[in-house]
Structures are given as C-alpha cells and as structure tokens.
Amino acid sequence: MIFRVGLMTAACAGFLMLSQAAEAQYGGYSGGGGPGYGGPGYGDDHAAHCARMQERLHEVRYRMQYAAPYERERMAARAEDLRDRLRAECWRH
C-alpha cells in the first residue's frame, strides 16, 4: 500500500514537471507537433466556434419541438440564422 502511494506521488510529480517544461518550451501550449503546428490559432479556435454554433443549432431545433406555438416562429428564425452562419463560416471551409 505504501509503495503504491509513493509510486503514484512520483508519477504525479513527473507529469507536473513535464507539463511545466512543455509550457516553458512552447509558450503555454503543450500540444503535439511543436510550435506552429496544431497550436492556438491553427484552426482550433475556428473549429471550436463552429462546434458551438452547431450545438446551438441542435439545441434550438430541439427546443422548437416542445415550444409553445407562438414561440416557434421566433425560434425558427433563430435556427435559420444559425444555419446560414454555419453555412457561410464553417461548412464552406
């Protein structure tokens, strides 16, 4: 039992040291491929933006199914706006 605790502590310390070394080397980004490849600004932000809009579109469509009839038209307009933005910003890339 004591050996396991010591081994787990050493492993956690090693991971902590490696993450700090990677942060120092790559300026806060420890992703694969080295600097300039897959780091922030290399499509990650755009992909996350598109994923959030896609999720929002699904949420609006789902909520439309259970919304009151007087709210469906407004929600349908919102869904159409989101779909148009997705088409313009994400689906053509």
Give me the mean pLDDT over the 16-42 stretch: 49
Higher pLDDT, 71 or 31: 71
Structural contact between residues 42 and 32, judged by C-beta atoms closer than 8 angstroms: no
pLDDT at 27 exceeding the cut of 60:
no
Give me the mean pLDDT over the 3-27 stretch: 56
CA distance 55 to 41: 21
pLDDT at 87 exceeding the cut of 70:
yes
